[in-house]
Structure 1
Amino acid sequence: MVGAQNNNIDSLSEFKYSQLKNKFYDYYDHNQFPQSEQIAKYYLQKAKKEKNVLEIAEGYNLIHFNRNFSVALKYVDSIAATTKDIKGSLYPARVYLIKGNLYYKNDNLKAALDNYILGLKYAKEQNDEKQTAYANMNIAYINSYIGKNVEAAKIFRYYLYNRNNNITDDYQHNQMRIALISCYLETGKLDSANILIKEGQRDALINKDKYDPNLYSYLLGTYNLKLKKYNTAITKLSNAYAYFTNSNENNNASYALYNLGKAYEGLKNKKKVVETYTQLDFNVQKTDITFPELRNAYTYLIDYYKEKNDKEKQLYYIDHFLKIDKKLDEQFEYLSTELPRKYDTPNLLQEKENIINELKKKKFLFYLVIGIMTLLLFALLFLYCKSRKAERKHRKIAQDLIHSVEERPKIQPIAEVEEILNEESIQQEEKVIKNIPEEVIKSILKELQNFEKKQHFLNKGITLSSLAQSINTNTTYLSEVINSHKEKSFTTYLNDLRIDYALKRLVEDKWFRSYKLAVIADELGYNNAQAFTAAFKKNTQTTLSAYIKEIQKKQSLN
């Protein structure tokens, strides 16, 4: 074995640095880590022997790929120490970009962003287009991670379709395509995603690569999941997951597992969902790699074991959920604050400066632009003030609503209930509806009371016609009774019941508050999230987000 290894090292001596580097990435990208590590060691040894400072730095870079985080970080620091006196555009920008990638790979997105910002700063100062592009691409990945997929897609699309071989090689081109597909899938641009997936599959077949076909299989599985073609999605995602697991692609494996679980959810196969999410939890605990969608997997497991009355497992997953939720919240809060401050705002300011410098040559246009920008500033200021005023109004309404919900008596004494019912019956007698027999009115009111008590208003697809049929009356009588005795239309009556229920449950049930908006809307009987939020705002004069935020704020103080 030793002799064979020496022969391999001897055979590397015939290659130039650029050739060695290409061979390293070819092995590394195909998960042939021992071979890539051997080349990296030889590369560094050769560079040190020749006292070539730039190539010594590159040797440290190649070696760090095959090391654990703490050791890899030391190698990156060695790059910084080796290149600290080098003049030119490559360093120190490259050090920060490499370090940012290392932090990103190890799920420390806060540190990753800080290093990417520094890399971008030095790349711009040195007018290094290639490294500026790399920094922008990496920051776009973070934007995508926190859900700003529209913004991220702009960057990925730009570098995909404005290809410059000095900036993006074939590998980077493929990475941009994969990233753009992910953004399209998240933003619902499924046709655009499908076109790029097919394009990527064709390229992968030409390159005879094993990794890319499996990555595109994962993307195709996710695409079919979005189309609700669950069986096809399961086949594609299962194949991708098996490959990622065998290749130690932990991050991709976890994403594949999560989407696999969503596909089983679509088929309502609870056993497979639990089995998949349990494996996902095992992977998360093992790798400590998280992503925002994990919350949904844990809430599913918690609810599942709650139904099974398995307190031990319920507590186990609650504990894991809280730990991950805290980490995600910290990362999300930092990224959503620092990205605009450190990246978006400087970019906008730079854009503004470029415009002003250009318009100095054209005085008329300069003043025109300044005038427009001033108007825009006032318009934005007006909109901002209006938004703040609306926000304060929404908060006040939300606080009053929460207070009124909390003040409601949970159980009314029987005597009080009977008194209320008697009062209602008296009022009902006084309200005589022409052409409707009194017995029919009483019967309908009794059925409506039962409808409210048993919370049938949460069922989907309720119409005036379906409710009339279920209580053995006609739509005319039902509509007249509701208009007269409830003093509202059927649609308003139904929405009032649902929103009143939502107000109370959101205060009392913290897990209900953690559900995705679409899930909450579905539980309340709405066909989609938009219908629910519109009904909520119309009914309460505040927004759902303001209401939930005020609940969380109040309960955090208690």
Structure 2
Amino acid sequence: MKTLKKREKKYFNLLLFNILIFLLGASFRQQEDNSSKKIDFESLRNKISVISKDRKQAFYLTQKYIELAKKNNQVEEVITGYGFATTYAPDSEKAKYGDSLIIESVKTKDNRYIGMAYASAANANFKNYDYKKALEMAIIADDYLKNDTSKEFAYEGLFTIARLKNKIGDNIEAQKIANEIYEYYKWKKEKKNTADIRSSYIYTLNTLIRINSAINNFGQNTILLKEGYSFIENNQDVAFYLADFISSDAFNEYSQRKYSSAIEKLEKSLILYNDSDNHFYEKFYLGMCYWKLEDDERALPFFQEIIDDYKKTGKISLEFRPSFEFFIDYYKKKGNREKQLISVDELLQYEKKFKEEQNNIAQKLKTDYDEKRLVEEKENLLSDRKKERWSFISVGILGIIAATGFFMYQNKKNKSLQQAIQADVAEELDNTESSGIGDKDKEEIPSLKTTIIYEKEENNPSEIAPEEEIPIVYSLQNQQKNNPLEIDYEAYLPINKHTVKQLLKSLADFEKSNKYLASDLRLNTLAEKFNTNDKYLSRVIKIKTGKNFNNYISDLRFAHLESILKSDTDFKEKKIKEIAKYLGFGTPEFFATAFKEKYGKTPREYFENPDL
């Protein structure tokens, strides 16, 4: 009995202990939850900055940062966390975090947040060799940020544009943009020496060195390299960029045919990176250096790794084209005609795919950035000219007012002549009204309304090409009350205005030329032809028509069918499979299903012809 009581007492004590532990744990969790609400995100940001040299650790802390920010519903901190992730995440994951960054930023409806998000996403896609998407996002970022009062934000989208120009060989223009951005941050760090400014400064300096190397501007690079190494040494929070900086130094050496020195620096940069990224840029130029030194066997593994990754992922830098040429030359020297022929075919396939992509990027840069920028500069000049005219008119009006005030002052001052002057003025006014001269004099000083009309007439319509109107029928979701042809571009956000206009024009051409009759039409293939992505195209179609892609195409085809039936009554005599094929439907069954969904009847019932 005593033993039983001891057991019960022991069991009770154990139960009490467990309850106490549970309560203490609950109390601790509650305290932890309460303290988490007061998380010092600034300290966390500083920790990430301090360990930024170790990208693995920086990314680990970044993930914790995002987790805590979400847990505490700190929207701005979530955005900051995703911004860090586009820098410290492995290259293969950067684009994913860039997309998340855009989604969170759009919720704020703040142009600066949205623009910075697109700029970060552009940079992430650039590093992932998705130049087409990088350009699209960079242009959107530039649209959001270029008019920002703070130049440091205005340059974010423009910076990726400079790097893309470098990739397609437009290095003179790329150097102008990169140099302007570098000079700004060089000045800015003296005025506002924050971690963000220091990071932007060294990053743009690094990129300028690479672009300078491409155009043999080694003189400036000598100065920039000395400046950059000194800055990194004195600012440990940008030590993360040392590996990148040494890599750029190596490229500068390579461009001067100093291959041995370049190899030494490239190998050093690879050791310093200490992360899971592939670093194909450094490996490519290691391969190039060994190839130039005629050490093909040591060059081989670097080029092989790049080609293998391309075959696996379908992605490769436009800069790495010589990798294919190496294998042609290598197998030619080996006398292996079979592998040489395979290498030739691989280069031809690369050329077919990437030459077209390079041309598309060059064309998009020209139309969406270069020409657009020139038009905007022209509009700004015209606006400035108008302001100057208004200033001139304002000065004239102020002069008249001042003169009138002066005479009034003189009249008041000379009280003894006041009655005489009033009598003279009254008499003169009477004479003016009777003679009609006063009206004529009034017309010589243009009114505000007259001046506005005059300013409009001064602008020669031939100087500025009017915006091309897109002949399409807008859905109710995108109609304006006052002007049904006016496009509500805000409805298309986050797609920028210029891209929307381009896609609407492409869709209008697509409809006008009956290209919807093509078989096997898919959203992604049509998006590629329109030089955009499927998400953008789907959104534009949805807002323009209120339909998804499949319904949009089907309705165009059925509208075409109705038009034919009105002009050609014999058309319905064709077999169902012939009509289906003509309209672009994959199978007669798919056509019949879509037909019934549209009209509520089968084709047979609709045509009232049992033989069909």
- The TM-score with structure 2 as length reference comes to 0.52
Match of 1:31 among 34, 43, 54: 54
Matches within 5 A, 1:530-545: none
Say if 1:282 and 1:242 are closer, same or farther in 2 by CA, change over 3 A.
farther
Q: Tell me the CA shift for residue 131 of structure 1.
A: 2.8
**Alignment-derived partner of residue 228 in structure 1:** 257
Q: Does 1:17 align with 2:46?
A: no
Deviations 1:246-298 (A, max 9, x none): 53342xx3222333333334333343344543344345456655233422232
Match of 1:178 among 206, 221, 226: 206
Q: Tell me the CA shift for residue 375 of structure 1.
A: 13
**Alignment-derived partner of residue 199 in structure 1:** 227
Separation (CA, whole Å) in 2 of partners of 1:73 and 1:262? 28
Q: Tell me the CA shift for residue 160 of structure 1.
A: 1.4
CA contact (8 A) 1:143 1:149 kept: yes
- Once structures 1 and 2 are overlaid, which stretch shifts more, 352-361 or 306-315? 306-315
Amino acid at match of 2:58: S
**Alignment-derived partner of residue 289 in structure 2:** 263
Amino acid at match of 1:356: L
**Alignment-derived partner of residue 402 in structure 1:** none
Amino acid at match of 2:47: K
Q: Tell me the CA shift for residue 176 of structure 1.
A: 1.0
Q: Does 1:109 align with 2:131?
A: yes
Structure 1 alignment gaps of length 5 or more: 1-5, 378-558
SS in 2 for 1:147: coil
Say if 1:177 and 1:80 are closer, same or farther in 2 by CA, change over 3 A.
closer
Matches within 5 A, 1:85-164: 85-124=107-146, 129-163=151-185, 164=188
Amino acid at match of 1:299: E
Q: Tell me the CA shift for residue 159 of structure 1.
A: 1.7
Q: Does 1:248 align with 2:276?
A: yes
CA contact (8 A) 1:93 1:120 kept: yes
Q: Does 1:301 align with 2:323?
A: no
Say if 1:323 and 1:241 are closer, same or farther in 2 by CA, change over 3 A.
farther
CA contact (8 A) 2:94 2:125 kept: no
Deviations 1:499-523 (A, max 9, x none): xxxxxxxxxxxxxxxxxxxxxxxxx
Separation (CA, whole Å) in 2 of partners of 1:296 and 1:375? 48
Q: Tell me the CA shift for residue 114 of structure 1.
A: 0.8
Q: Tell me the CA shift for residue 198 of structure 1.
A: 1.9
Deviations 1:410-457 (A, max 9, x none): xxxxxxxxxxxxxxxxxxxxxxxxxxxxxxxxxxxxxxxxxxxxxxxx
SS in 1 for 2:110: coil
CA contact (8 A) 1:291 1:328 kept: no
Q: Does 1:311 align with 2:337?
A: yes
Separation (CA, whole Å) in 2 of partners of 1:257 and 1:311? 27
Matches within 5 A, 1:41-52: 41-52=63-74
Say if 1:305 and 1:38 are closer, same or farther in 2 by CA, change over 3 A.
closer
Q: Tell me the CA shift for residue 336 of structure 1.
A: 0.4
Q: Does 1:358 align with 2:380?
A: no
Q: Does 1:277 align with 2:303?
A: yes
CA contact (8 A) 1:103 1:109 kept: yes
Matches within 5 A, 1:321-400: 321-363=347-389
Amino acid at match of 2:246: S
Q: Tell me the CA shift for residue 119 of structure 1.
A: 1.6
Deviations 1:185-233 (A, max 9, x none): 1101112112211221222333457654433333333333333333323
CA contact (8 A) 1:12 1:20 kept: no
Separation (CA, whole Å) in 1 of partners of 2:258 and 2:81? 47
Q: Does 1:290 align with 2:312?
A: no
Say if 1:13 and 1:309 are closer, same or farther in 2 by CA, change over 3 A.
farther
Separation (CA, whole Å) in 2 of partners of 1:275 and 1:63? 31
CA contact (8 A) 1:194 1:223 kept: no
CA contact (8 A) 1:254 1:284 kept: no
Matches within 5 A, 1:212-223: 212-223=241-252
Match of 2:215 among 168, 187, 202: 187
Q: Tell me the CA shift for residue 183 of structure 1.
A: 1.1
CA contact (8 A) 1:120 1:135 kept: yes
Separation (CA, whole Å) in 2 of partners of 1:364 and 1:65? 48
Separation (CA, whole Å) in 1 of partners of 2:152 and 2:463? 34
Q: Tell me the CA shift for residue 80 of structure 1.
A: 4.3
Amino acid at match of 1:18: E
Amino acid at match of 1:228: R
RMSD in angstroms over aligned alpha carbons? 4.0
- Once structures 1 and 2 are overlaid, which stretch shifts more, 232-241 or 276-285? 276-285
Separation (CA, whole Å) in 2 of partners of 1:73 and 1:219? 24
Q: Tell me the CA shift for residue 39 of structure 1.
A: 2.9
Amino acid at match of 1:346: K
Structure 2 alignment gaps of length 5 or more: 1-28, 393-456, 465-612
CA contact (8 A) 1:359 1:365 kept: no
Between the two proteins, the alignment pairs up a number of residues equal to 363
**Alignment-derived partner of residue 491 in structure 2:** none
Say if 1:217 and 1:78 are closer, same or farther in 2 by CA, change over 3 A.
closer
Say if 1:196 and 1:285 are closer, same or farther in 2 by CA, change over 3 A.
farther
Separation (CA, whole Å) in 1 of partners of 2:299 and 2:247? 18
CA contact (8 A) 1:89 1:127 kept: no
CA contact (8 A) 1:80 1:95 kept: yes
Q: Tell me the CA shift for residue 342 of structure 1.
A: 0.5
Say if 1:79 and 1:266 are closer, same or farther in 2 by CA, change over 3 A.
closer
CA contact (8 A) 2:146 2:155 kept: no
Separation (CA, whole Å) in 2 of partners of 1:84 and 1:292? 31
CA contact (8 A) 2:247 2:269 kept: yes
- Once structures 1 and 2 are overlaid, which stretch shifts more, 44-53 or 336-345? 44-53
SS in 2 for 1:91: helix
Say if 1:224 and 1:71 are closer, same or farther in 2 by CA, change over 3 A.
closer
Say if 1:330 and 1:174 are closer, same or farther in 2 by CA, change over 3 A.
same
Amino acid at match of 1:221: A
Separation (CA, whole Å) in 2 of partners of 1:294 and 1:115? 23
Say if 1:264 and 1:344 are closer, same or farther in 2 by CA, change over 3 A.
same
SS in 2 for 1:335: helix
- The TM-score with structure 1 as length reference comes to 0.56
Separation (CA, whole Å) in 1 of partners of 2:316 and 2:100? 29
CA contact (8 A) 1:160 1:177 kept: yes
CA contact (8 A) 1:290 1:328 kept: no
Amino acid at match of 2:73: K
Say if 1:288 and 1:256 are closer, same or farther in 2 by CA, change over 3 A.
farther
Separation (CA, whole Å) in 2 of partners of 1:292 and 1:70? 18
Q: Tell me the CA shift for residue 177 of structure 1.
A: 0.8
